Chain A
Amino acid sequence: MSEIIKLSATELAKKLRAGEVTAVEAVQAHLDRIAEIDGGDRGLNAFLHVNADEALAVAAEVDEIRAAGGTEAEALHPLAGVPIAIKDLIVTVGQPTTAASKMLEGWMSPYDATVIEKIRAARMPMLGKTNLDEFAMGSSTEHSAYGITRNPWDLGRIPGGSGGGSAAAVAGFEAPLALGTDTGGSIRQPGAVTGTVGVKPTYGGVSRYGAIAMASSLDQIGPVTRTVLDAAYLHELIGGHDPKDSTSLNEPVPALVDAAKQGLTGDLSGVRVGIVKELTGEGYQAGVQERFNESVEVLKAAGAEIVEVSCPNFKYALGAYYLIMPSEVSSNLAKFDGVRYGQRVLPEEGPLTIERVMGATRAAGFGDEVKRRIILGTYALSAGYYDAYYGSAQKVRTLIQRDFDAAFEQADVLVSPTSPNVAFEFGAKSDDPLAMYLNDVATIPANMAGIPGISVPGGLSEGLPVGIQFLAPAREDARLYRVGAALEKLLEDSWGGPLIDQAPELAAATTGGAA
């Protein structure tokens, strides 16, 4: 394996600046890795599209600017030349955006998402678009219309979801950085089960313009990386106010890199960490609970004050989420009707009216999970049920916010396992939607309240990664980076290196080339 791909984004950026590695070499090393392990019957299939030509061209520009020196070279962003992978829910000019749905097969966006504009402005080469559950609906990436993505830790297991492609790409050293989206845990849960770092920023902290909307009051774009410091650099780049997103916070991005660097000193004196009683114990695998307990001890040894907090209304969070999210889904996905973009499928018989074309198009274009959520949302919003379901769920949202408010009076950050279980085998939960939904029980409350969350590697259970989640009050993302980086550093000291170094070496895929 090339040494370049093992570097963190921060280390690679340093070598690029020092001239020890060129951006073209960095991009090529990752493209080679993708060609080697992504395709074929046992490949990761993290990528739906590989953007080799453009990525190499952008890298060559960076190298030229650096070689020429002067003010333009000095003005380069710290991450210039560092390659990145993009979840295929985020629209990009020049590359197809499919949302992993047949509905959008081959769709070419006429505009860039705001986060993509920022990545272009920073001259970061985009390696390609990563796989996901269709329209980001799922926790395993098994609901993609373009095949499953494999977990680099065990090719027979799920990489989490919906952002399984971005997490697997980063865990498998196909990319040092990726973007994800998190509506109920789709950045953090894949991070947990692949031994990587995933951050869901404060709602409104990163522009959602150009992220194909799933549930607009819950969706958030965020970083997918192998280290907390890398996530801080990427978060600072993509964050900030965007007039094109009317839910964007008109506030400066917090000093996240500084917070991560402070955390890397390993000192958490004076930090109050709250264990959420309702997010531990029953329902959590024993191995997950053990790693969690050990992490709490590590935080305590670093000087943190550990308190227990109770959030009694969290027991309603999953139910309320599965009313609010599908309701917003049913509205947001109404636009995929075969008229302005995407597939159009004609009914096999009977009169050819637009209504029947829509019915046939949506029947053929959407997968089962998407249909399930649209129907559930249509039900929750229909006359006679609205108050009992959607209305009640919105009240639960208030109760969850109040629980968090009370908890954050006692603690600066909250801690829990990110996912109740380690990565499961393919097919283990795909016939039981409810069992699948339970994967997100610890991540959903943050989306309901709009607060930020991070998942960092917390060790292994039966050879598979366990994630530790921290949550902070809205706008206090910096706290996550401080505490997350401290835990990362102290655990890595005890392991003798990053957790990802314990992942098995991936053999070259047996058949075929890159996806």
Chain B
Amino acid sequence: MSAISREDVAHLARLAHIEMSGAELERMTGELDAIVDAIASVSEAAGDDVPATSHPIPLHNVMREDVVGATLTPEQALQNAPDAEDNRFKVPAILDGE
């Protein structure tokens, strides 16, 4: 039931923000197809009456006191930034052509 196409993988790579060469797309398509094929049976394992589990040990309403705790200084927060200016992270243009 799988059949992941190279176009599918190219689309997923774009969604995931990972640039991929043609050769990489080719290899990844074959590998993903095999993996998805192997795990497809999962979709037939459980009927509609089985509830989903998102969390192994559910906890509800985990709160903390509304007080200021320890926070990073701007210097600490920026110490690993690839680029920074005026206490801010600096990035290239957000929009194309501006």
Contacts and interface: CB of A to CB of B under 8 A. Distances in A.
Interface of A: 107-108, 110-111, 202-204, 217-218, 243, 246-247, 249, 313, 316, 318-320, 322-323, 330, 334, 337-344, 346-347, 351-360, 362-363, 366, 371-372, 374-376, 378-379, 382, 388-389, 391-399, 401, 433-434, 437, 447-451, 474
Contacts of B55: 217, 247, 450
B29 to A, nearest CB: 10
Interface residues of B, number: 54
Interface string B10-28: 0011111111100000001
A48 to B, nearest CB: 17
A344 B82 contact: yes
A433 B31 contact: yes
Nearest to A374: B16
23 contacts: A110-B72, A110-B79, A110-B80, A243-B64, A247-B57, A319-B40, A330-B16, A334-B16, A340-B80, A341-B81, A353-B94, A359-B18, A363-B20, A372-B35, A375-B18, A379-B8, A392-B43, A395-B45, A396-B45, A398-B51, A398-B52, A401-B53, A437-B35
A375 B12 contact: yes
Interface string B52-84: 111111010010100000001000110111110
Given A334-B17, A343-B82, A344-B82, 7 more contacts: A107-B80, A111-B72, A203-B57, A356-B19, A357-B92, A362-B16, A371-B28
A353 B56 contact: no
A449 B56 contact: yes
Contacts of B43: 388-389, 392
B56 A394 contact: no
Contact of A353 (B32, B57, B96): B96
A375 B9 contact: yes
Contact of A354 (B20, B51, B94): B94
B15 to A, nearest CB: 5
A338 B54 contact: no
Given A352-B93, A376-B35, A337 B17 contact: yes
A434 B30 CA distance: 12
Given A337-B17, A374-B16, A382-B15, A394 B52 contact: yes
Nearest to A110: B76
B51 A392 contact: no
Contacts, number: 181
Contacts of A389: 39, 42-43
A230 to B, nearest CB: 26
Nearest to A343: B82
B80 A342 contact: yes
A217 to B, nearest CB: 5
Contact of B46 (A352, A375, A396, A434): A396
Contacts of A451: 56
B58 to A, nearest CB: 9
